[in-house]
Structure 1
Amino acid sequence: MKKPWLLLAVVCCLLGAFPAHAQDEVWPSKPIRVIVPTPPGGAYDRTMRPLAQELASLLKQPVVIDNKPGAGNIIGAQAGATAAPDGYTLTMTGMVNTIAQGLYDNVPFNIVNDFAHVAMIGGGAQWLVVNSQSGIESFADLIARAKREPGAINYASSGAGSTGHLVMELLQKATHTSFVHIPYKGGAAALMDVLGGQVAVTVIPLSGSMPYIQSGKLKVLAVSSPKRSPELPQVPTFEELGYKQLTVISWVGLSAPKKTRPEVVRKVNEAVREAMTRPEVQKKLDAEGITPMTMTSDEFTRVVKSDTERWGALTRSLQLKAN
């Protein structure tokens, strides 16, 4: 009588293990949610929606956008970090998260340690621009004037701790100059005052400045990308000008909760890389000034760690907090 009971116990154990094994094999078997930590219609949202359509086609499941804006992208990222690590919640992360890690006290997650960083989407450069009527004709001219008149030149940013602000802080350190920071509540307001001549200088993405560059209202002095941009090939990089430390790419990517299975991370990474080859996705990325950046999950993780250390060191040196 002992053997039939033993056989029955073995069968029950196998049956109990089967559903979990089957679930592993068939991922994804239900819709995938992507948390976008900004409002609908914003740059993150505009970038993710065409990519989500292609991912849905490749993964054979709906990919649903869940906008969770607020607190400098912290609210959405926290929701993503604390979601179940089952492969059905992804979060758009960006360089802004690596800045926020040092900019705010008590961030409720660690951008390096609380995520499995799945796939880089792409990144965009920052552009150092001046009002065309400012009399500043080149990067060398700007630096020479700043050294002659320390503290006499104002620059606008979208706020303390923004990418534009931190690039200008790096510039001042690298060139041993002193500018006056004028923070605004958003990039649009900052740009309008540069166009109006109230402020001379700002650092902004190309997508927000191109119409004014083409019309001659703004002059571009330098770009933060490693190589010159095909859109404006006449503009030198900071590295060409002798300031490699000003090379900055504002990136966005997809991350998952930390304990997401490696095979799921691999499948999403492969799908994202495939989706970014599709013409419709490339067109949308171009419109946002984003260059596709193909990386493995490990390479992406190294970028997150490096940027967190870089911006943390800068914000600490400035004693900069946004609480």
Structure 2
Amino acid sequence: MRLTRWIAALATACLAVSAAHAQPADWPSHPIRIIVPAPAGGPYDQVIRPVAQQMAQSLKTPVLVDNRPSAGNIVGTQAGAAAAPDGYTLTMTGMLNTIAQSMYENLPFDIVKDFAHIGEIGGGPQWLVVRSDAGIASFQDLVQQARREPGRINYASSGAGSTGHLVMEQLQRAAGIQLTHVPYKGGGPALQDVLAGVVSVIVIPPNAAFASIQSGKLKVLAVSSPQRSPAMPGAPTFAELGYKQLTIASWVGLSAPKGTPAPIVHKLNAALQAAVKDPALVKQLEFQGMDVQTSSPEQYTQLVRGDTERWGQLVRSLNIKAN
């Protein structure tokens, strides 16, 4: 009798494990949602919408975008971590999450442990820009003005713990200057206030700034790429200016909740890879300043883990806290 019960229990456990790793035959049977923890119209949003459209073609089901902005991308990422692990709710994750992991003391999720990471979309540099009529002629001029009047120049960011915030914190320490941080709930609102003249300076991805630069409203002072940007050859790199530590590529990708069956994760990865290999999409993303990448779930997991460790060391050394 005991042996019979033990065999029955073992069989039940094996069936449970098998079910957890099995891909439902009809998956996907209804629309997939991608949570974007940033505002509509911002840099994240401009990247993910065409990617979602391409993935929908591969998966033969609608892929919808759900914008949930907040400082540090926390609210949307938390919702993604807490979603059912069934492959129908994904989250747009990125380098910002690996920074926030150390900047916030009580994050309600762990970017490494609470997700089944699907794959990278790509990455790109950050551009330091100012309003063309802000009275700041160059990077050197910005530094000189900030040294003469500490705290007078304001800079915007998409929130405490954002890439732009961290870049500017590094810059202030490296140059020995003091600027005033004005955080916003996303890159879109921050850029709007820079364009409106409320704030003078911002660090943002090229795709967010390019149209305003072309129209003459914004001016690029420096770029974080290792080499000068072909789209903006007149703008020096931070490394040229003597700030090699500000050479940064900010990346983004897709993740699912922890526990999502591996076959579903790999099917999502295949759809993502097909999307970012589409020539028209690649051209569109490259025009926005992104270096398109493909990766396996394992490679993206390692990228998330490695940058969480790297940024954690830097954040702790600078003693930066967002709360």
What TM-score, normalized by structure 1, do the two folds share?
A: 0.77
Paired letter, 1:253: G
- Measured at CA, do residues 136 and 83 of structure 1 come closer, stay the same or move farther in structure 2, by a change above 3 Å? closer
2:319 corresponds in structure 1 to: 318
Name the structure 2 match of 1:205: 205
- 1:20/1:319 CA distance change after superposition, 3 Å: closer
Residue 34 in structure 1 maps to residue 29 in structure 2: no
Compared CA separation, residues 120 and 139, structure 1 to 2 (3 A): same
Instruction: Give the match's secondary structure for 1:58.
Output: helix
CA positional deviation for 1:146: 4.5
1:5: which partner in 2?
none
Alpha-carbon offset, residue 152 of structure 1: 5.7
The change in CA–CA distance for 1:270 and 1:29 in structure 2 (over 3 A counts) is closer
For the residues of structure 1 that align with 2:37 and 2:197, how far apart are their CA atoms?
30
How many angstroms does 1:164 deviate by? 1.9
Letter in 1 for 2:66: N
Hey, what's the Cα distance between the residues in 2 that align with 1:169 and 1:290? 24
Is the partner of 1:30 in helix, strand or coil?
coil
Change (3 A) 1:87 1:214: closer
Letter in 1 for 2:252: V
Question: In the TM superposition, what is the alpha-carbon distance from 1:246 to its structure 2 partner?
Answer: 0.8
Residue 255 of structure 2 corresponds to 255
Tell me what 1:92 maps to. 92
Shift of 1:193: 5.9
The AA in structure 2 aligned to 1:250 is S
- Computing the radius of gyration from Cα coordinates, the structure with the larger value is 1
1:110, distance to aligned residue in structure 2 (A): 0.3
Q: Could you tell me how far apart the structure 2 residues matched to 1:163 and 1:221 are?
A: 17
One-letter amino acid of the structure 1 residue matched with residue 119 of structure 2: A
Specify the alignment match of 1:74 in structure 2: 74
The answer (yes or no) to whether the contact 1:130–1:136 under 8 Å persists in 2 is: yes
* Aligned-residue offset at 1:238: 1.9
Change (3 A) 1:227 1:294: farther
Q: How does 1:84-233 map to 2 (within 5 A)?
A: 84-133=84-133, 136-143=136-143, 146=146, 149=148, 151=150, 154-158=153-157, 159-175=159-175, 177-185=176-184, 187=187, 190-191=190-191, 194=194, 200-233=200-233
CA distance in 2, matches of 1:53, 1:277: 13
SS at match of 1:303: helix
Count of residues paired in the alignment: 306
Root-mean-square deviation (Å): 3.6
What TM-score results when the alignment is normalised by the length of structure 2?
0.77
- CA 1:166–1:284 in 2, change beyond 3 Å: closer, same or farther? same
Distance (whole Å) between structure 2 residues aligned to residue 69 and residue 156 of structure 1: 23
Deviation at 1:62, TM superposition (A): 0.8
CA distance in 1, matches of 2:63, 2:133: 47
- Paired with 2:245 and 2:223, the residues of 1 have a C-alpha distance of 12
1:306 Cα offset (Å) = 3.2
Equivalent residue, structure 1, for 2:4: none
User: Which whole-Å CA distance do the structure 1 matches of 2:299 and 2:236 have between them?
Assistant: 27
Contact 1:36–1:45, Cα closer than 8 Å, also in 2: no
Counterpart residue number, 2:5: none
Distance 1:133 1:71, change over 3 A: closer
Alignment gaps of 5+ in structure 1 = 1-8
Residue aligned with 2:267, SS: helix
Report the counterpart of residue 3 of structure 2 in structure 1: none
